[in-house]
């Protein structure tokens, strides 16, 4: 997992989902045609992988970069070469023709990503950009008919992060901890004027304390616990997930088996972290 989108979700068992996917049409990924700019589908070779605490859903996405400046330049050139002033409808048709021509000539880029579902905690985690996560949800809804999901969200996170950090700095703490998590090597502060102060590595605590006194708030913070580090922002978006497990402790002859085992552990820890942080933020907001 790298950059994740977390949802509270109620999905069926892997057996039920597998049957639903096999009965639904048009869900598997197929290569882009000359007239398509992008396409998202379930991985054609493997859609579902069983994990000890849930399962993994594999997707494939292909897309072409849209060269908007070149399209506009070509359209203006064609209009300039015309011997008369084209109508609005003619310009629209010409524009569609230019777009189709560029689409046919552009080379697509293909990427694979996964979603992880923790059955007991009813938590669905997409490891991808937010737009792809929404597309993946749409495919699941198409297969199942309906999926009850809710984006994991907490309000007033920035205030909770700021208050917690300021309290510890005022108490003279050299290393700031947060809700049982250690702070890492990234801290981003911002104020009402949208000025930004970014710190990497060891924080100059006196300077950070002074900025917080002057009205800055924590916008982004790196946290770590149980071998997983990540960056969280004031919208509860989690990115830059990094693991530091001791691989010597895992003894597997099969590389794929090891990969699945590590993903199981990562899913367990990440969902647990999300629950802990959400509970902490909700408690902070109730006390405010």
Cβ contact 123:117 at 8 Å: yes
Per-residue pLDDT at 152 exceeds 80: no
Per-residue pLDDT at 154 exceeds 70: no
What is the average per-residue pLDDT within 4-9? Answer: 91
Task: Give backbone dihedrals phi and psi of 245, rounded to 5 degrees, phi first.
Answer: -75, 150
d(CA 26, CA 4): 26
pLDDT tens digits, residue range 161-201? Answer: 888 888 888 888 777 788 889 888 899 999 999 999 999 98
CA nearest neighbour of 5 among 111, 135, 148, 127: 127
CA nearest neighbour of 36 among 118, 103, 113, 129: 103
Residues 6 or more apart in contact with residue 150 via CB below 8 angstroms: 7, 8, 9
Cβ contact 178:221 at 8 Å: yes
pTM across the whole model: 0.88
pLDDT band at 282 (very low <50, low <70, confident <90, very high): confident
Highest mean pLDDT among 112-116, 237-241, 283-287: 112-116
Residues 6 or more apart in contact with residue 116 via CB below 8 angstroms: 1, 51, 54, 55, 56, 57, 124, 125, 127, 263, 267
Q: What is the pLDDT of residue 283?
A: 75
Q: What is the pLDDT of residue 168?
A: 87
Q: Helices 255-287 and 157-170 sit at what angle, rounded to 10 degrees? A: 80
Q: What is the pLDDT of residue 202?
A: 79
What is the chain's mean pLDDT, rounded?
A: 91
E strands present in 138-280:
148-151, 177-178, 181-190, 196-200, 217-225, 228-233, 238-243
pLDDT tens digits, residue range 117-140? Answer: 999 999 999 999 999 999 999 999
pLDDT tens digits, residue range 213-262? Answer: 999 999 999 999 999 999 998 888 899 999 988 777 777 888 898 899 99
């Amino acid at each position: 997992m790298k950059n994740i989108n977390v949802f509270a979700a109620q999905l069926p068992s892997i057996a039920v989902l597998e049957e639903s996917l096999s009965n639904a049409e048009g869900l598997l990924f197929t290569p882009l045609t000359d007239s398509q700019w992008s396409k998202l589908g379930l991985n054609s070779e493997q859609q579902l992988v069983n994990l000890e605490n849930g399962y993994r859903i594999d997707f494939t996405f292909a897309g072409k970069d849209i060269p908007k400046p070149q399209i506009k330049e070509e359209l203006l050139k064609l209009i300039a070469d015309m011997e008369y002033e084209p109508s609005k409808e003619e310009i629209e048709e010409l524009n569609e023709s230019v777009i189709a021509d560029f689409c046919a000539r552009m080379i697509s880029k293909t990427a694979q990503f996964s979603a992880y579902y923790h059955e007991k905690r009813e938590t669905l985690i997409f490891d991808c950009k937010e737009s792809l996560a929404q597309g993946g949800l749409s495919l699941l809804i198409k297969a199942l008919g309906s999926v009850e999901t809710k984006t994991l969200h907490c309000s007033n996170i920035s205030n909770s992060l700021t208050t917690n950090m300021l309290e510890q700095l005022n108490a003279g703490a050299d290393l700031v901890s947060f809700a049982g998590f250690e702070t890492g090597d990234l801290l981003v502060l911002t104020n009402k004027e949208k000025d930004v102060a970014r710190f990497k590595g060891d924080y100059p605590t006196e300077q950070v304390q002074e900025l917080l006194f002057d009205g800055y708030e924590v916008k982004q913070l790196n946290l770590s616990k149980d071998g997983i580090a990540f960056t969280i922002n004031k919208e509860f978006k989690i990115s830059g997930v990094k693991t530091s497990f001791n691989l010597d402790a895992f003894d597997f002859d099969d590389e794929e088996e090891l990969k699945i085992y590590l993903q199981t552990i990562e899913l367990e820890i990440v969902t647990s972290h999300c629950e802990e942080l959400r509970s902490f933020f909700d408690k902070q907001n109730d006390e405010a």
